[in-house]
């Protein structure tokens, strides 16, 4: 079994924020693969389903912690403990300011790089989980980071955001099969994005 957890903040106020692109990604996967209805469990909203791979269907649980972004580790830890899973059975989707908008990178293990949500998950289950990082760009100065990630995507961003989310969902069989490098490559093939300095002035104004 695989747990696909998204990082985000609960409620309509935050729904369109860059910080919630992790929620958007796992929702896209749930829609594409027709997961079951959403319900509350593990201090989260969850959906159960299967992702087809060449070797058969892989059971997966979509997990959207409702504990707020920076405290998401408690929800993730509870789900892993309940299903007796290892950190490698978790894929955490989250916004990455050190990637330019639309870029996508997979990574296993490592530090939190200033991301308090990742730090929370690490504190509860250790660092050896899989990370799906969705680039949202950097506002250019550390003092503007919070305002950047807690602001909605601009209208001019909607096309690349939709393309990236669709690609993440369509390529999910590779993720379910454990082929993270191939998954990353397929997502970028389906939703190509320019490799650029993430600190380049973001599109639009916050």
Cα angle 68, 69, 75; round to 5: 70
**Overall size of the chain counted in residues:** 206
Angle between helices 180-190 and 158-170 (to 10 degrees): 140
What is d(CA 34, CA 187) in angstroms, rounded to the nearest whole number? 20
The 10 Å CB-count burial string (b at 16+, else e) for 78-97 is bbbeeeebebebbbbbbbbb
Q: Is 141 a catalytic residue?
A: no
* Catalytic hit among 19, 124, 141, 148: 19
Catalytic residues: 19
């Amino acid at each position: 079994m695989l747990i696909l957890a998204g990082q985000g903040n609960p409620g309509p106020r935050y729904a369109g924020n860059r910080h919630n692109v992790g929620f958007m990604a796992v929702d896209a996967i749930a829609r594409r693969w027709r997961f079951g209805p959403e319900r509350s469990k593990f201090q989260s909203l969850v959906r159960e389903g299967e992702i087809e791979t060449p070797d058969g269907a892989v059971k997966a649980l979509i997990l959207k912690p409702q504990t707020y972004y920076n405290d998401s580790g408690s929800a993730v830890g509870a789900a892993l403990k309940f299903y007796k899973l290892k950190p490698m059975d978790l894929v955490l989707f989250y916004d990455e300011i050190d990637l330019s908008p639309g870029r996508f990178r997979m990574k296993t293990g490592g530090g939190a790089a200033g991301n308090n949500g990742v730090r929370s998950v690490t504190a509860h289950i250790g660092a050896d989980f899989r990370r799906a990082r969705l680039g949202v760009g950097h506002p250019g100065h550390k003092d503007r980071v919070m305002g950047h990630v807690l602001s909605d995507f601009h209208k001019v961003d909607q096309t690349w955001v939709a393309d990236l989310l669709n690609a993440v969902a369509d390529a999910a069989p590779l993720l379910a099969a454990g082929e993270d490098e191939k998954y990353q490559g397929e997502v970028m093939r389906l939703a190509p994005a320019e490799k650029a300095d993430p600190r380049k002035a973001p599109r639009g104004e916050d």
